[in-house]
Amino acid sequence: MTQKIYFKIGEVAKRFDVNPSLIRYWEKQFDFIRPKKSRKGTRLYTRKDIDHFEILFHLIKEKGMTVNGAKEYLEKHKNQGSVDKLDVINTLKRVKSILQEVKKELGRS
């Protein structure tokens, strides 16, 4: 029942069904995505980074915005807390999933 803390670029790319090069590109374009790097230089993304990718994926791939359009949208809505609300929603979804796993494990005992 352990939850991963860090994810490699391939795992993030697979989750969003995109190439790792797109992940690296968005990382260069959006300064709020800054993965840690291992001693070997492997990018290690946190859940918060993945939440940010989810926002970008929605804006760019699902809504069809350009990268510049997404930057403008995020800048415009930064003060309204839209991004923070989505972060909270994603965190709550993860907590719900963990609690469901705990409930399932307790039911087996």
When the pLDDT of each residue in the chain is averaged and rounded to a whole number, the result is 85
Identify each DSSP E strand in 14-60 by its residue range.
36-37, 43-45
Sorted by where each starts, the structural domains of the chain and their CATH numbers stand as: 7-108 (1.10.1660.10)
Q: What is the dihedral of CA 27, 75, 5, 38, to 10 degrees?
A: 30
pTM above 0.85, yes or no: no
Chain segment 39-59, per-residue pLDDT in tens: 999 999 998 898 889 889 988
Chain segment 95-104, per-residue pLDDT in tens: 787 788 888 8
